[in-house]
């Protein structure tokens, strides 16, 4: 019954509200026809069991010697599509069933005929699209989605409105199954708060994390395109490669992306250029290098970008920061001291807290210490600390000079050697 639901919802969405009887009739007849069509896909109909008798004008379908996929006669198929404009309801329904029987090879012909089709024929074409998009991971569905997106790009036409409604219905139809499939593979959809930009945010949103616990392959991530609520994707772990990025551009509500500790390289980031718009992107401890600077500049990111602990040189990172106007860009080579300051102390260099087992704590830095110098760089504010450490990589050694109050309230000057770590 799921296969009829998409068509019924779509028919009700586009049918005139003043003709309820026609809406119901079309829905019922469509169900009958599409059940017939489904049977015809399962097995080639013979004259004995076929509900629609073969017509001498039906375009014959042959099979490619290479792919074994049916190859249709485009001219005869186009002539068949023209019959969707018939004044006879029966003719239209029989024609629709024949087109469905021919298989997804007719989609490209439908695309060509749709702009010149009248209202009745275009409605029939959209119903055929809907039936070809019932299996989420099929090539037919991929073709239909591609066709609908092209129509939506036209923005003002009636067909673009119908395409948008149908694409939304297709996504809703497959969303629940996609959520279950990914969850079974170890990547569940969660509603919560996820730390981004080096700090915990206040925004609650739907996110999915694909990490080392994911039991699927990169191809299984094709399910991502059907997640209608997810706004943040987290890709984390060495098993994440460039192929994992190819499906992100199909996600309808993706706004934020975090890539961390992956095997993704510079060339892989080209997949991200197809994402229409991101609020924020964050790439941490991933081996992208200077070759990706132009790609990063070309991404549709409108709020903020954070690149930290990659193989990008400091000089190239500086060019990236200067070349992206209008958005917040944070770049650092990844060395992490592991200290925090409360809001009031940001204008000073006083340590309010150290990260447990972090570089600062291991070197003996404690809460209340006032950092005055890192190597030869004078430090006055907490921002000075960040600016100085931006050039440093994990494992590098720095000398931190600080002031510490003793029991008598006197300030002692100390120097400590610190081996910088990574931000966890």
100: helix, strand or coil: helix
- Relative to beta strand 353-354, strand 339-340 is antiparallel
Q: What pLDDT is recorded for position 254?
A: 96
Q: What pLDDT is recorded for position 33?
A: 36
Sequence-separated (6 or more) residues with CB below 8 Å from residue 269? 245, 288, 292, 295, 296, 299
State the burial class of residue 256 (Cβ atoms within 10 Å of its Cβ: 0-12, 13-18, 19+).
buried
320: helix, strand or coil: helix
The pLDDT of 239-244, averaged and rounded, is 95
Q: What pLDDT is recorded for position 59?
A: 55
- CA angle 325/329/332 to nearest 5° reads 140
Extract the tokens encoding 58: 């039906």
Strand ranges across the sheet with 301-308: 189-192, 205-210, 232-236, 256-260, 278-284, 301-308, 328-332
Percent pLDDT > 70 in the chain is: 81
Q: Please say whether the dihedral angle defined by the alpha carbons of residues 354, 358, 364 and 369, taken in this order, is positive or negative.
A: negative
Identify the CATH class of 185-332. alpha beta
Report whether pLDDT(46) > 60.
no
Report whether pLDDT(3) > 50.
no
134: helix, strand or coil: coil
Q: What is the domain partition of the chain in residue ranges? A: 2-171, 185-332, 339-419
Q: What pLDDT is recorded for position 66?
A: 43
Q: Does domain 339-419 have CATH number 2.30.42.10?
A: yes
Rounded to an integer, what distance in angstroms lies between the CA atom of residue 76 and that of residue 189? 46
Per the CB < 8 A criterion, the answer to whether 349 and 381 are in contact is yes
From 101-110, 191-200, 352-361, the region with the lowest mean pLDDT: 191-200
The model's pLDDT over 283-314, given as tens digits with 9 standing for 90+, comes to 999 999 999 999 999 999 999 999 999 999 99
């Amino acid at each position: 019954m799921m296969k009829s639901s998409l068509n019924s919802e779509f028919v009700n969405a586009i049918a005139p509200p003043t003709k309820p009887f026609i809406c119901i009739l079309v829905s019922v007849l469509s169900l009958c026809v599409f059940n017939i069509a489904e049977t015809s896909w399962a097995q080639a109909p013979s004259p004995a069991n076929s509900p629609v008798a073969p017509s001498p004008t039906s375009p014959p379908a042959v099979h490619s010697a290479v792919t074994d996929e049916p190859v249709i006669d485009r001219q005869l198929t186009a002539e068949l599509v023209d019959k969707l404009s018939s004044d006879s309801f029966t003719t239209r329904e029989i024609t629709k069933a024949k087109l469905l029987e021919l298989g997804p090879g007719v989609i490209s012909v439908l695309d060509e005929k749709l702009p010149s089709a009248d209202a009745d024929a275009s409605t029939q074409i959209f119903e055929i699209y809907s039936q070809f998009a019932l299996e989420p991971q099929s090539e037919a569905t991929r073709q239909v989605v591609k066709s609908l997106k092209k129509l939506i790009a036209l923005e003002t036409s009636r067909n673009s409105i119908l395409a948008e409604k149908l694409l939304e219905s297709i996504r809703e139809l497959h969303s629940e199954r996609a959520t279950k499939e990914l969850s079974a593979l170890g990547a569940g959809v969660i509603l919560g708060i996820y730390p981004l930009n080096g700090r915990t945010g206040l925004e609650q949103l739907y996110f999915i994390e694909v990490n080392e616990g994911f039991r699927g392959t990169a191809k299984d991530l094709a399910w991502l395109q059907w997640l209608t609520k997810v706004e943040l994707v987290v890709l984390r772990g060495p098993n994440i490669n460039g192929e994992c990025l190819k499906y992100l551009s199909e996600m309808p509500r993706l706004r934020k992306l975090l890539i961390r500790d992956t095997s993704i390289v510079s060339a892989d980031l080209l997949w991200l250029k197809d994402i229409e718009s991101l609020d924020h992107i964050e790439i941490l401890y991933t081996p992208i290098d200077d070759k990706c600077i132009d790609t990063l500049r070309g991404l549709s990111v409108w709020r903020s970008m954070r690149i930290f602990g990659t193989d990008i040189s400091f000089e190239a990172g500086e060019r990236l920061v200067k070349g992206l106007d209008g958005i917040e860009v944070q770049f650092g080579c990844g060395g992490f001291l592991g200290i925090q300051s409360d809001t009031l102390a940001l204008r000073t260099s006083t340590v309010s807290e150290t990260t447990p087992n972090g570089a600062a704590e291991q070197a003996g830095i404690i809460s209340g210490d006032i950092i005055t110098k890192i190597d030869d760089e004078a430090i006055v504010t907490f921002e000075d600390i960040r600016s100085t450490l931006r050039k440093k990589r994990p494992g590098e050694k720095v000398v931190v000079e600080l002031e510490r109050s003793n029991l008598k309230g006197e300030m002692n000057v100390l120097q400590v050697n610190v081996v910088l770590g990574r931000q966890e």
